[in-house]
Amino acid sequence: MKKMDNTTRYERLRERYRNGDLDRRSFLGLIGAAGLAYGVQTPFAKYAMAQDVQQVRFDGWGGVVSEAFREHAFDPYTAETGIEVVDGTFSGGDEYLAQVRASQPGEFNIAHLSGVFDYARYHNFDLTTALNLDNIPNVELVIARLMEPYRAITPDALSAVPYDYGTTGLAYNRKYISDEEMREKGASILIDEAYKDKIGGWSDWRTRIWYGALQTGQDPNNIEDMEEVWDAIRQHRDLALKYWGSGAELMSLLAEEEIYVTEGWSGRIAALQEEGHDIGYYDPPNSFGWQECLFVIKGSPVEACEELLNFMLAPETSIAVAEGQNYPPALDGTKVDLGDKIPTLPAYDPSGTLESLTFADPEYWNGNEAEWSKTFGRVQRGY
């Protein structure tokens, strides 16, 4: 039997009313019910009409990065396409993922996410989409090695493009700790009794375990004695004054000399150095390398997002953002002239191969996430 469409259904209804088969109250009641049903489903129907895109939402870390995006990518994009970019900010990837999970599809579109962990996590939560890289020609300028981890997770199509990279190395106040001492002690300086109550650390469980592995002489991507790592974390916990939770807090603790040594994000330490603070930065062997990406979330208007990603990957935008946030862009320095400042940034790799950096194996780390993040919560509290 042929399925009746709505127009035919309404025409038949009207005909029955005109013929006197249906009283006026029933006719109006049925029309009202149809209107109500349309009203209820409209908020959800808008996602199915994504072709008529009027705005795209972008979420990032705020500050100078957002300003650079606004000036070099969002406004030119709006001028060319007529599509408005609404930008929001978040203070942490975990908090943002919790928001995305609680949202309706299409509510969040593009996010500036941390590393490969998030890519894998979003994929596990079925939040990936399929980008057509032909619509993002600037992706050709990106360091090839940064694409590989994403391809390993979603071999058929990517849901993100790499955007920048950096390291979580050792930051130290040179008034109290010399460069020589730092090179000699490396990651073990974070469990040196001599600096009790002057040591800091990021409250992130991955970083704590990564550095616990370095302090116990293990490969962070293949830890064999986890108990030894937990003991190192306990040792660090007892010597640390404070676990910091944001880049601003990290910078404040170091600048105010509340702590003398901690792990730190390369870009934030570069910003402190720019401000004139005598803070050293050292990447010990197997220092924690990471990359950030521009991720398109499932349910977003893909073509509009692809066009925006291309604007954001354009060298003038990427370089401006990189100079603002002090992290090298994902662009290959052998293909693009990155200017004067970027080659001086910590963690910058001029070869375009990133051989000098150690990245976390997402499969290994995400596979242990549930157990390790929970155990860390207990170890942190004295267990």
Partner 1 sequence: MSVEAREARQPWILLSPALTAVGLLLFVPLMFIVVYSFWLRSAAGADQVGFFLDNWQEALSDAFYRDILLNTLKIAGITTIVCALMGYPSAYFIARSKGNKPVLLLLLMLPFWISYIIRTMSWINILGVSGALNSLLMTIGIINEPIQMLYNETTVILGLVHFLLPFMILNVFVSLDGIDTNLESAANSLGATKWQSFLQVTLPLSLPGLAAGGLLCFVLGAGTYITPMVLGGPRDAMFANLVYEAIITQLNWPLGSALSLMLLVVLGALVMLYNRYLGMAQLMKGLG
Provide, rounded to whole angstroms, the least separation between the CB of residue 8 and partner 1.
Answer: 38
Which of 9/378 has CB closer to partner 1?
378
> Which residues bind to partner 1, rule: CB under 8 A?
92, 94-95, 97-98, 101, 121, 124-126, 197, 201, 203, 205, 237, 240-243, 245, 252, 256-258, 366, 369-370, 373-374, 377-378, 380-383
Q: Based on CB atoms, which residue is closest to partner 1, 97 or 319?
A: 97
- Transcribe 54-95 into DSSP letters: -EEEEEE--HHHHHHHIIIIIHHHHHHH--EEEEEE-S-HHH
Q: Which is nearer to partner 1, 14 or 378 (CB)?
A: 378
Neighbours of 165 (CB within 10 A): 26
- Nearest distance from C-beta of residue 381 to partner 1, angstroms: 5
By C-beta, is 70 or 242 nearer to partner 1?
A: 242
What's CA 209's distance to the chain center, in Å? 20
Specify whether the CB–CB gap between 169 and 190 falls below 8 A. no
CB of 102 to partner 1, least distance (A): 9
Which is closer to partner 1, CB of 200 or CB of 329? 200
Question: What per-residue string of b and e applies to 22-41 under the rule 16 or more CB within 10 Å gives b?
Answer: beeeebeebeeeeeeeeeee
Q: Is the CB of 118 or the CB of 306 nearer to partner 1?
A: 118
In the chain the first and final C-alpha atoms are separated, in Å, by 68
Q: Residue 320 phi/psi, 5° resolution? A: -60, -45
Q: How far apart are CA 250 and CA 4, in angstroms?
A: 64
Let me know: does 203 contact 380? Beta carbons within 8 Å. Answer: yes
307 and 82 Cβ atoms separated by less than 8 Å: no
